[in-house]
């Protein structure tokens, strides 16, 4: 079915407690704008949900009117413009309830990881968040959730106990291993293909402190450090997490001195164990070349944004990723040929990174899920900022060249959360193994046969 070109009767939405907005309404633009400004949304209707009842009402209306539906909490993953249809925003639903006895938290649909860390900190508990605590918990977890400490503890989806979810028929369901087990499977790694999550319950971990941060070197040390880091990753224990990045940082006030406006080779590190042991483990990196800026320190877990220092303000970004089987010497050389200092200061990608995978990220989930990145030894990702059309085209071309060059070292797959703008069905399928992709298509046919949830990284019903 296709999206309506004229907004259907909105009377049924009069029971919504939050705002119901249409193009031209004063608050419409603010409501539809997410963190990633590269995707400009123009839905026919936007519902600012305040709770599960609003989502149920909105989904029943969409089902009755055959209106396609998209969901947005923070918009960090807004890689695809929402045109026509219904957009449900959940940013008002930020409640987090921590149970220190069971070490769990019930997290509402629009909560960010910063909300969870603030609620868990008084109890010394934390969740498996990614590189930015500004990201939404639910969207991140539906895509599997690749944590900063993933090598030590696995994927965020591995810790989920249950979901409350509204399926496209307008039914509010509870999904866990005993109730709706297939729905529970599809929601952990299958993204938003089978329903709109209103809340989830996840385990928390005793993580009050960690040792981490970034080691930065000047451009001339990039090649030697990349090879040193690659060898080092083959020796470290599972609990040590790291990412090698080349950074071309713009001269803007949001970036602190002395990093502002320069080319840097960086290794970001996170270690949940004893600080002295962590210092000993990273000593070979500190000896590999003179460190220009050393920001590695013991910190509260809630301060882990300091490790990767991701942008805090909305911007138009083009992100992409690739799962890698391994990183042989020629693979490292290929990476440097594409993104290293020799390609020039005007190279359009802000960051290109190689993340160490394995450890707990390679272990089977306690309850089977749809996460398909467990066979990767490394993970490559890149981000380019696209403020204007000429720059956007340069970012696109550089991205294509990098991933084409690195394809011989890849598994052929991506991770759904960092896949970037989804293409055709073949491109979208790369986020899963063929077996998992076909299972998701059958689940899509069961729960969303009319393909109402067709925006973003959606699969086609079998």
If asked whether residues 115 and 182 sit together in one domain, one would say yes
Q: Which one of 178, 206, 234 terminates a domain?
A: 206
**Does residue 318 sit within a domain?**
no
Q: Which domain holds residue 147?
A: 96-206
If asked whether residues 79 and 138 sit together in one domain, one would say no
Residue 173, domain CATH: 3.30.465.10
**Does residue 176 sit within a domain?**
yes
Per-residue pLDDT of the chain (462 residues; tens, 9 = 90+): 344 444 556 777 889 999 999 999 999 999 999 999 988 999 999 999 999 999 999 999 999 999 999 999 999 988 889 999 999 999 999 999 999 999 999 999 999 999 999 999 999 999 999 999 999 999 999 999 999 999 999 999 999 999 999 999 999 999 999 999 999 999 999 999 999 999 999 999 999 999 999 999 999 999 999 999 999 999 999 999 999 999 998 877 777 778 888 899 999 999 999 999 999 999 999 999 999 999 999 999 999 999 999 988 898 999 999 999 999 999 999 999 999 999 988 899 999 999 999 999 999 999 999 999 999 999 999 999 988 788 899 999 999 999 999 999 999 999 999 999 999 999 999 999 999 999 999 999 999 999 999 999 999 999
- Cβ 184 vs Cβ 178: under 8 Å: no
If asked whether residues 76 and 123 sit together in one domain, one would say no
If asked whether residues 42 and 77 sit together in one domain, one would say yes
Q: Which one of 67, 89, 111 terminates a domain?
A: 89
| Rg (the chain; Cα; Å) | 22
If asked whether residues 70 and 142 sit together in one domain, one would say no
How many structural domains does the chain have?
2
- Cβ 409 vs Cβ 331: under 8 Å: yes
If asked whether residues 54 and 81 sit together in one domain, one would say yes
Contacts of 433 (CB under 8 A, 6+ apart): 372, 413
Q: Which one of 59, 89, 119 terminates a domain?
A: 89
| 196-203 and 263-271 strand pairing | unpaired
**Does residue 202 sit within a domain?**
yes
- Cβ 266 vs Cβ 226: under 8 Å: no
If asked whether residues 67 and 101 sit together in one domain, one would say no
Residue 76, domain CATH: 3.30.43.10
If asked whether residues 200 and 100 sit together in one domain, one would say yes
If asked whether residues 22 and 78 sit together in one domain, one would say yes
If asked whether residues 64 and 126 sit together in one domain, one would say no
């Amino acid at each position: 079915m296709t999206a309506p070109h004229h907004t259907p009767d909105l009377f049924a939405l009069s029971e919504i407690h939050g705002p119901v907005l249409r193009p031209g309404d004063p608050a419409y633009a603010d409501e539809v704008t997410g963190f990633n400004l590269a995707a400009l949304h123009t839905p026919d209707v936007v519902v600012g949900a305040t709770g599960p009842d609003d989502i149920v009402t909105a989904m029943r209306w969409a089902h009755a009117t055959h209106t396609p539906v998209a969901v947005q909490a923070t918009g960090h993953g807004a890689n695809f413009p929402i045109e026509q249809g219904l957009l449900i925003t959940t940013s008002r639903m930020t409640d987090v309830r921590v149970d220190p006895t069971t070490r769990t938290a019930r997290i509402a649909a629009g909560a960010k990881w910063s909300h969870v860390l603030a609620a868990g900190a008084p109890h010394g508990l934390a969740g498996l968040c990614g590189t930015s605590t500004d990201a939404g918990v639910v969207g991140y977890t539906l895509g599997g959730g690749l944590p900063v400490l993933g090598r030590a503890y696995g994927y965020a989806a591995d810790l989920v106990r249950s979901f409350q979810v509204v399926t496209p028929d307008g039914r509010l369901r509870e999904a866990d291993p005993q109730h709706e087990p297939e729905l529970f499977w599809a929601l952990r790694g299958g993204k938003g293909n089978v329903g709109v999550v209103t809340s989830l319950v996840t385990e928390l971990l005793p993580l009050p402190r960690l040792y981490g941060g970034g080691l930065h070197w000047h451009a001339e040390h990039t090649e030697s450090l990349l090879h040193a880091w690659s060898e080092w990753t083959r020796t470290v224990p599972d609990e040590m997490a790291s990412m090698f990045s080349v950074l071309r940082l713009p001269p803007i006030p949001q970036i602190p001195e002395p990093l502002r406006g320069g080319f840097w080779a960086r290794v970001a590190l996170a270690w949940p164990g004893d600080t002295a042991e962590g210092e000993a483990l990273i000593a070979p990196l500190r000896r590999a070349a003179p460190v220009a800026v050393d920001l590695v320190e013991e910190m509260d877990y809630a301060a882990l944004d300091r490790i990767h220092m991701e942008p805090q303000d909305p911007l138009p970004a083009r992100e992409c990723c690739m799962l890698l089987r391994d990183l042989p010497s020629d693979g490292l050389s290929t990476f440097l040929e594409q993104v290293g200092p020799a390609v020039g200061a005007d190279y359009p990608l802000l960051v290109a990174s190689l993340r160490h995978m394995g450890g707990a990220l390679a272990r089977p989930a306690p309850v089977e899920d749809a996460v398909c990145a467990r066979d990767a030894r490394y993970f490559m990702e890149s981000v380019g900022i696209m403020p204007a059309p000429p720059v956007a085209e340069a970012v696109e071309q550089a991205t294509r060249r990098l991933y084409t060059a690195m394809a011989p070292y890849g598994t052929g797959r991506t991770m759904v959360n960092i896949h970037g703008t989804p293409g055709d069905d073949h491109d979208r399928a790369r986020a899963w193994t063929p077996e998992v992709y076909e299972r998701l298509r059958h689940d899509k046919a069961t729960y969303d046969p009319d393909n109402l949830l067709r925006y973003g990284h959606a699969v086609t019903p079998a």
